[in-house]
Amino acid sequence: PRALVAGFVKTDKDFQTKGTTVTFVIIDGWVVTVASVGDSRCILESAEGSVYFLSADHRLDVNEEEVERVTASGGEVGRINIAGGAGIGPLRCWPGGLCLSRSIGDTDVGEYIVPVPHVKQVKLSNAGGRLVIASDGVWDALRFQEALNYTRGLPAEAAANRIVKEAVSSKGLRDDTTCIVVDILPPEKLSPPLKRHGKGGIKALFRWRPSDELSEEQTDNGCFEPDVVEELYEEGSAMLAQRLNVNYPAGNMFKLHDCAVCQLEMKPGEGVSVHGNMPKHHSRVDPWGGPFLCSSCQVKKVAMEGKLHL
């Protein structure tokens, strides 16, 4: 998880004014790790028929915690104003007018849009499951259950093609419409099992979701049954110091004098601690301890964290 945070921030530096959302999935045996910024999504349907949300949705319209973070950092959140003071369209972050609170790139819209990803890690049962990873053009057109229904009985590649076709047929090609379907199957199985409609429940493994996609009946159906998917890790903080400071320096994957983001090798005393500008009332924080950032990554940290720590 810490390496994913560092990688997202480094990529953000490299992209500069090019903006994109990211849903990045690593599959290692039965363990699935998902890092995400923006409004592309990854959902998992287990072999038992339960649905899990593995990515966060950073649209300001549906994520109250991100609205609070942006406003606490000094940004403004609101809709486009028209004559008479009425607001239209989705909630946006100002300056810039982006309707997302996190992305890669987009440095031209201010420091309130951060590249620090939500990271979630789960372990599947040995029965496996199916992942559907898609950009916002798919989810603007299809609800998650519709997307899953379109994949029934199809191999992964054909399922992805069907989802894209249905999304474009529904709303036209108005945004990036990309889908990847991945089956995680026991070695002896050559094709995914056919699932019955309504089997299993919806497991709310991540706390932000569009409320109109989950009916009360769906939410109650099976949510309190023993999970067949084990949650191993979840963290969504936007603060770099918090996300890089896990078990540091014990078991540290970075060399002590390498920048924790870009891996630049620094001489002793050149690096700046990620805690260097923390308020004095954070008594547990050692401003002289690692992890350390090079000067350019420290500038990036200060810029993207806005006024929250000033």
Buried residues in 197-218 as b, exposed as e (16+ CB within 10 A): eeebbbbebbebbeeeebeeee
Three-state secondary structure call for residue 51: strand
Helices (H) and strands (E) in the chain, counts: 8, 13
Ranges of residues in the chain with a pLDDT under 50 are: 196-199, 206-226, 248-253, 281-283, 308-310
What 221-227 contacts at long range (C-beta under 8 Å, 24+ apart), as own/partner pairs, is: 222/50, 225/201, 227/50, 227/203
Q: What is the pLDDT of residue 310?
A: 36
E strand or H helix at 229, and its extent?
none
Q: What is the pLDDT of residue 4?
A: 95
Three-state secondary structure call for residue 258: strand
| Whole-angstrom distance, CA of residue 304 vs CA of residue 33 | 25
Q: What is the pLDDT of residue 221?
A: 40
Q: What is the pTM of this model?
A: 0.82
| Whole-angstrom distance, CA of residue 288 vs CA of residue 277 | 11
| Whole-angstrom distance, CA of residue 15 vs CA of residue 38 | 15
Which residues, other chains included, contact 53 with Cβ-Cβ below 8 Å and sequence gap of 6+? 41, 42, 43, 204, 205, 206, 209
Neighbouring C-alpha atoms within 13 Å toward the C-beta of 115: 30
Q: What is the pLDDT of residue 140?
A: 92
> Do 253 and 2 meet the contact criterion of CB atoms below 8 Å apart?
yes
Q: What is the pLDDT of residue 218?
A: 43
Q: What is the pLDDT of residue 11?
A: 92
> Do 104 and 11 meet the contact criterion of CB atoms below 8 Å apart?
yes
Domains of the chain: 1-60+103-187+228-236 (3.60.40.10), 239-309 (no CATH)
CB atoms within 10 A of CB 143: 13
Q: What is the pLDDT of residue 85?
A: 67
